[in-house]
Amino acid sequence: MHILLMGPPGAGKGTQAAKLVEEFGVAHISTGDMFRAAVKNQTELGKRAQECMAAGKLVPDDVTIGIVKERLAQDDCKKGFILDGFPRTVEQAEALEKILKELDLALDCALNIDVPSAELVERAVGRRICKKCGATYNIKFKPPVKEGICDACGGELYQRADDSEATMKNRLAVYDEQTKPLIAFYKQNGLYKEVDGRQSMEAVYSDIIAALRG
Cα(34)–Cα(56) distance, integer angstroms:
16
- Which residue, 136 or 164, has its beta carbon nearer to ligand ADP? 136
Number of residues located near ligand AMP, criterion CB under 6 A: 17
Query: Interface with ligand AMP includes 59 (CB under 6 A)?
Result: yes
Figure out which of the listed residues 7, 56, 87, 134 binds ligand ADP, where binding follows CB under 6 A: 7
Query: Interface with ligand ADP includes 9 (CB under 6 A)?
Result: yes
- Which residue, 162 or 207, has its beta carbon nearer to ligand AMP? 162
Per CB under 6 A, the segment of 4-12, 46-54, 90-98, 143-151 that binds ligand ADP is: 4-12
Query: Interface with ligand AMP includes 53 (CB under 6 A)?
Result: yes
Per partner kind, with CB cut-offs from 5 to 8 A, the member of ligand AMP, ligand ADP, none near residue 186 is none
CB of 104: closest distance to ligand ADP in angstroms? 29
Figure out which of the listed residues 136, 159, 164, 170 binds ligand ADP, where binding follows CB under 6 A: 136
**Which residues contact ligand ADP by CB under 6 A?**
7, 9-15, 123, 126-127, 136-138, 141-142, 200-201, 204
